[in-house]
Amino acid sequence: MNTRDVAIAGETLTMHVERALYWAARGTLLVSDVHFGKGAVFRRAGIAVPSGDTDDDLRRLDALFAAFAPERLVILGDLVHGAATARSAWVDDVRAWRQQHAAIDVVLIAGNHDRHFDVASLGITVQPDRLAMPPFVLSHHPHAHAEGYVLAGHVHPGAVVRDGWRKHRLPAFVFDRDVGMLPAFGTLTGLHEVIALQGRQIFAVTPAGVIPTRGATTR
């Protein structure tokens, strides 16, 4: 199953196996920590990683657009990984992709990595801090806020799932009392393992779908 619904702050949110969250009531698709151009940054530093990560992530966004037909896409920070050069092909690819989807409102909540690049030059609206969409506050950093339940990224949350004697580290959606965290969307992003806490819901993204771990409740 590619999707699983969860009730947060009185709203139904749909988690997708491609590490995205859809809020149907507002026609809003949420992703976080895309890190476009990370492969190029690594290769410039002499680290051998395969090319094509940006193209793969754009195709995944296309598939999500086809699945949900959202009115808007909100990126919860770190759309890009670092500074681009004149030889950075990913910049042209992302700009062309944005033009193909000009009818969809695309907003970036600026993250710490986004300071390295002029994201507005891609045709994307940049929100410098946070965006209030009651009952939610959309942010990059997962800090509780008085105006509403915070949906954020930054941490790249992951969970350990055991399959018999095997142990798998997987991306995860995490929902605490006042803050929810999305898994990193980007192909070349790492994981930060989160621990099970009282009242915390953790949903692991597995090849079989979005799976609730101990203590998680679904709708």
Residue 42 within any structural domain of the chain: yes
Residue 157 within any structural domain of the chain: yes
CA distance 154 to 113: 10
How many domains does the chain fold into?
1
Q: pLDDT tens per residue, the chain (219 residues)?
A: 799 999 999 999 999 999 999 999 999 999 999 988 754 544 443 333 344 468 889 999 999 999 999 999 999 988 885 555 555 678 888 899 999 999 999 999 987 866 777 888 889 999 988 999 999 999 999 999 999 999 999 999 999 887 766 778 899 999 999 999 999 998 766 778 888 888 899 999 998 899 998 655 544
pLDDT of residue 46: 38
pLDDT of residue 91: 84
Residue 217 within any structural domain of the chain: no
Contact criterion met (CB below 8 Å) for 106 and 75: yes
Which own/partner pairs from 192-198 qualify as long-range (CB within 8 Å, at least 24 positions apart)?
Answer: 192/155, 192/156, 192/157, 192/158, 193/157, 193/158, 193/159, 193/160, 193/169, 194/155, 194/157, 194/158, 194/159
Q: What is the pTM of this model?
A: 0.88
CATH number at residue 98: 3.60.21
State which H helix or E strand residue 61 sits in: helix 53-68
Per the structure, the complete domain to which residue 114 belongs is given by: 3-212
pLDDT of residue 107: 96
Residue 16 within any structural domain of the chain: yes
Contact criterion met (CB below 8 Å) for 37 and 80: yes
Residue 178 within any structural domain of the chain: yes
pLDDT of residue 83: 57
Residue 102 within any structural domain of the chain: yes
Residue 219 within any structural domain of the chain: no
Residue 218 within any structural domain of the chain: no
